[in-house]
């Protein structure tokens, strides 16, 4: 499932293709993904101009003229593909936008949403409703924004008896972190995923806040590195999860102390950690 760094990579790939460009044609192949799509979605998008491409947590927010937002969530299996010639659409290609310098100019790009498991979602709404939108209104601060700090972590973890790993996945406490980067950040902070969230205070909260920022920045940089040729021959945006210290490495030696990395399941999701370095 794409997390903040991957969604940021998608945003960076889309921005130069969409900004100040028009939707010359819109194809919407179904009336629902995870939830029903907005009514008359294709007609509502036709002829519109993109002004800027933003991100909030794991959502891409594409700003349109007339102060609207086109929201994209990739869900479990969604991906965006960008082509410069019209692609043949497959069974799981649910939406395609034809992009041009004016509503009637010839196409410069084709942007396709592919989503085999259909947990993704698309919505259109007025920008003024962003803060009250059902998916966005309860979302915690951006970990790479000014509202995030050790003090914030300590405040939102206060009184939480559940494991810190689960608290990091809670989008209401902090936006954009998923299973991979939660494990990675906890490793770099030297904190066990099983530790009670409420006990992450003081120095520990400092270490965790710093590790969250460092882990996400490094992953975005890796995405940025692959962004140079991010649009693959198949149109896919190439983000590669690199440099993972613990995630997916059960049984392999810890980078720091060579103790085998352990995998446990918490709330139905796998966590990876070094039982010696993380306490
Ligand atoms: Zn270790």
Catalytic residue among 12, 55, 58, 249: 58
Do 87 and 178 belong together in one domain? Answer: no
Q: Output the six-digit token pair for 206.
A: 């400092």
Domain extent, residue 170, equals: 150-273
Residue 214 in domain: yes
* Other Cβ atoms within 10 Å of 251 Cβ, number: 8
pLDDT of residue 229: 47
Q: Measure 190 CA to ligand 1 centroid, in angstroms.
A: 9
Catalytic residue among 3, 6, 8, 184: 3
Do 121 and 179 belong together in one domain? Answer: no
Closest residue by Cα to residue 191 from 167, 171, 172, 170: 167
Element (H, E) at 1: none
* Other Cβ atoms within 10 Å of 264 Cβ, number: 16
Active site residue 206: no
- Name the domain count of the chain: 2
Q: Tens of pLDDT along 14-65?
A: 999 999 999 999 999 999 999 999 999 999 999 999 999 999 999 999 999 9
Do 122 and 159 belong together in one domain? Answer: no
Closest residue by Cα to residue 122 from 238, 44, 235, 227: 44
pTM of the model: 0.92
Q: Is 159 exposed, middle or buried (0-12, 13-18, 19+ CB in 10 A)?
A: exposed
What are the C-alpha distances in Å from 98 to residues 80, 84, 251, 270? 13, 10, 47, 39
Residue 136 in domain: no
pLDDT of residue 224: 61
Q: Tens of pLDDT along 232-258?
A: 556 777 666 667 999 999 999 999 999
Domain end, chosen from 97, 128, 159, is at 128
pLDDT of residue 157: 98
Q: Tens of pLDDT along 196-233?
A: 999 999 999 999 999 999 999 998 888 765 544 456 55
In CATH, what number is assigned to the domain containing residue 251?
Answer: 1.10.8.50
């Amino acid at each position: 499932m794409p997390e903040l760094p991957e969604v940021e990579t998608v945003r960076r790939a889309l921005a130069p293709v969409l900004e100040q460009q028009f939707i010359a044609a819109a194809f919407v192949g179904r009336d629902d993904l995870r939830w029903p799509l907005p009514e008359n979605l294709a007609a509502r998008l036709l002829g519109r101009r993109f002004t800027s491409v933003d991100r909030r947590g794991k959502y891409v927010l594409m700003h349109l003229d007339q102060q609207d937002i086109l929201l994209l969530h990739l869900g479990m299996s969604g991906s965006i593909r960008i082509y410069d010639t019209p692609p043949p659409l497959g069974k799981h290609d649910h939406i395609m936008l034809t992009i041009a310098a004016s509503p009637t100019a010839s196409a410069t790009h084709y942007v396709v949403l592919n989503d085999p498991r259909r947990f993704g979602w698309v919505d259109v709404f007025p920008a003024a409703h962003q803060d009250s939108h059902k998916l966005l209104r309860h979302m915690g601060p951006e970990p790479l924004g000014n509202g995030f700090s050790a003090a914030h972590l300590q405040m939102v973890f206060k009184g939480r008896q559940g494991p810190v790993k689960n608290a990091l996945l809670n989008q209401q406490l902090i936006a954009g972190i998923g299973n991979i980067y939660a494990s990675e950040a906890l490793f770099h902070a030297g904190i066990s995923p099983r530790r009670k969230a409420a006990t992450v205070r003081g120095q520990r909260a400092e270490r965790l806040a710093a590790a969250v920022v460092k882990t996400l920045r490094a992953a975005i940089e890796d995405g940025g590195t692959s962004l140079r040729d991010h649009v693959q021959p198949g149109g896919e945006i190439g983000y590669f999860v690199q440099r993972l210290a613990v995630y997916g490495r059960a049984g392999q030696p810890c980078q720091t102390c060579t103790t085998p990395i352990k995998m446990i399941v918490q709330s139905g999701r796998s966590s990876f950690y070094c039982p010696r370095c993380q306490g």
